[in-house]
Amino acid sequence: MQPSSTTPTHSADTVLLRVASNTLETLLWQRRDEPQALRFALPGGLLERGESLEAAALRHLVAKVGAGPVAHLEQLETRSEPERDPRGWLITTAFLALARPDVQVAERADTAWYPALEPPQLAFDHAELLQLAIERLRGKLSYSNIAFALVLPAFAISELRNVYQAVLGYEVSATNLQRVLERDGLIEATGERRAAGRRGGRPPELYRFVDERLTISRPYAAFAPRRS
| Positions in the binding site for DNA (CB under 7 A) | 156-158, 173-176, 178-180, 183, 193, 195-205, 222-226, 228
- Which residues pair with residue 112 across a beta bridge? 28
47 contacts its own copies (rule: CB under 8 A): yes
Element of type H or E holding 17 = strand 9-20
Choose between 12 and 17: whose C-beta lies nearer to its own copies.
12
109 contacts its own copies (rule: CB under 8 A): no
Shortest spacing between CB 139 and DNA, in angstroms? 14
Choose between 27 and 94: whose C-beta lies nearer to its own copies.
94
Question: Taking a C-beta distance cutoff of 8 angstroms, is the pair 26, 113 a contact?
Answer: yes
171 contacts its own copies (rule: CB under 8 A): yes
Q: Rounded to whole angstroms, how far apart are CA atoms 63 and 56?
A: 11
46 contacts its own copies (rule: CB under 8 A): no
Which amino acid would we find at residue 71?
Answer: A
Question: Taking a C-beta distance cutoff of 8 angstroms, is the pair 95, 17 a contact?
Answer: no
- Which residues pair with residue 96 across a beta bridge? 15, 74
Q: Rounded to whole angstroms, how far apart are CA atoms 56 and 45?
A: 8
Q: Rounded to whole angstroms, how far apart are CA atoms 15 and 28?
A: 9
Choose between 15 and 91: whose C-beta lies nearer to its own copies.
91
125 contacts its own copies (rule: CB under 8 A): no
Choose between 35 and 143: whose C-beta lies nearer to its own copies.
143
Contact of residue 143 among DNA, its own copies, none (CB under 5-8 Å per partner type): its own copies
Choose between 113 and 155: whose C-beta lies nearer to its own copies.
155
Contact code string over 196-225 relative to its own copies, x by CB under 8 A: -----------------------xxxxxxx
Q: Which of 22, 109, 102 is nearest to 64 (CA)?
A: 109
Site for its own copies in 4-23 (CB under 8 A): 5-8, 10
Which ranges in 2-41 belong to alpha helices (H)?
Answer: none
